Chain A
Amino acid sequence: MNLISKIVIPLFVLFIIFYGVKKRVNVYDSFLEGAKEGLLLVFHITPTVIAMVFAVNIFLDSNFIDGMLGFLKPIFDFVNIPIDILPMALLRPISGTASLAIMNDIFIHFGPDSYIGRLASTLQGCTDTTIYVLALYFGSIKVTKTKYALPVGLFADLMGILAAFIITFIFFG
């Protein structure tokens, strides 16, 4: 598995350059042109990234999610799911790094082959960080009226997270 993911990128780059040379494109100049566009892109997304990382990080630092867990513990005990998974499910749409860090903690405490370990693995794979992606992509082109994008994105997250709980239960429960 590791070999496949390691070989994909080199082959991909090789193929693009080979195809470019074959079609008599000035490969080097094209690269420079694209790289310059990329640099401008980075320049454009910098304020968005700083704004979002700042907000998400101070939110995580405040331990607000941990504070809210007390209310929900009885429900989770009732359905027999370790409450430790909840912060991860809540954070998944907000921050990929944060949910990854929680998954890592779960692996350390319960092991990757425990029920909660498998559930965490599925949760991490089931969806992307909606809020971050929306802020980044819309911020990069200065779109401020995002219309129904956020509700639809969060709806997809919710369905994915519910599906992760149900599917993990069916496969490993």
Chain B
Amino acid sequence: MVNVIWVGLILIAIIYSLLTGQVDTINNGILTHATSGVNLILEMMPLIVLWTGIMKIAEKSGLLQVFAKALNPILRRLFPSLPRNHKALGYIASNIGANMLGLGSAATPFGLKAMDELQKDNPKKSEATEAMITFLVLNTGGVTLIPTTVIALRIMHGSANPTEIIITSILATAVSSISGLVLDYFIRRRKRK
């Protein structure tokens, strides 16, 4: 599926550019945007290395498990296919926690580690499991309680009330996440039958 999107984006980009006479733009784009990807990796690398290091401490000290246990009542309903003390649950809890606080860059390493743990007991390594999909739906829904970047930008542009959008964001986020989870739930239930 990601395959289709990737091909679609590139085909549309190149064909549309050529048809509208933007040959220079697309030529430059193809030559320079590999660098954009590398730059993003270089930006993310220190954060990922730092946070996976720090979270290893939390894992070894049992803190991650404590955190997961606190969120267990919710997580158990969302991930019925995972055993109670699955290692991934701690990382899932940390990922959601960081997202809620609007710390997107800190959330990514936790999310990647959660996927890594889920993959360890996946019988078919090239196929997504139910738990993986539920986790991603939860994640892409973007359960943000404090949209820090948006607020910072609003302050920068001289908003009279930069935080007034918190409540609308939370409501919209809730609609997005809940509708994703509900659809995910019904798909899983139909498959069982």
A contact residues vs B (CB 8 Å cutoff)? 1-2, 4-5, 8-9, 13, 16-17, 19-20, 22-23, 25, 27, 30-35, 37-39, 41-42, 45-46, 49-59, 61-64, 67, 93-94, 96, 100, 103-104, 107-108, 111-113, 117-118, 121-131, 133-150, 152-153, 155-157, 159-164, 167-168, 171-172
Chain B CB within 10 Å — which of A140, A143, A163 has the most? A143
In the assembled complex, the Cα of A30 lies from the Cα of B55 at a distance in Å of 9
In the complex, the chain B residue whose C-beta lies closest to that of A107 is B157
With A16-B54, A56-B9, A64-B13 known as contacts, the answer to whether A144 contacts B137 (CB < 8 A) is: no
With A62-B22, A103-B150, A113-B161 known as contacts, the answer to whether A155 contacts B179 (CB < 8 A) is: yes
Chain B residues within an 8 Å CB radius of A153: 136-137, 140, 180
Chain B residues within an 8 Å CB radius of A156: 137, 140-141, 176-177, 179-180, 183
A131 touches B2 (CB 8 A): yes
A16 touches B165 (CB 8 A): no
Determine whether B72 belongs to the interface, using a CB cutoff of 8 Å to chain A: no
In the assembled complex, the Cα of A50 lies from the Cα of B41 at a distance in Å of 8
User: Can you sample 7 A-B contacts with CB below 8 Å?
Assistant: A5-B148, A9-B106, A54-B37, A121-B147, A124-B149, A140-B115, A153-B140
Give the secondary structure class of A's interface: helix
Contact among A62, A103, A135 for B26, CB-based, below 8 A: A62
Chain A CB within 10 Å — which of B106, B142, B151, B155 has the most? B142
With A9-B103, A152-B137, A153-B140 known as contacts, the answer to whether A131 contacts B5 (CB < 8 A) is: yes
Chain B residues within an 8 Å CB radius of A13: 54
B contact residues vs A (CB 8 Å cutoff)? 1-3, 5-6, 9-10, 12-14, 16-17, 20, 22, 25-26, 28-30, 33-34, 36-38, 40-41, 44-45, 48-63, 99, 101-104, 106, 108-109, 111-113, 115-116, 118-119, 124-128, 132-133, 136-137, 139-142, 144, 146-155, 157-173, 175-177, 179-180, 183-184, 187
Minimal beta-carbon separation of A92 from chain B (angstroms): 10
With A9-B106, A58-B13 known as contacts, the answer to whether A160 contacts B176 (CB < 8 A) is: yes
Contact among A5, A46, A108, A152 for B41, CB-based, below 8 A: A46
Chain A residues within an 8 Å CB radius of B126: 142-145
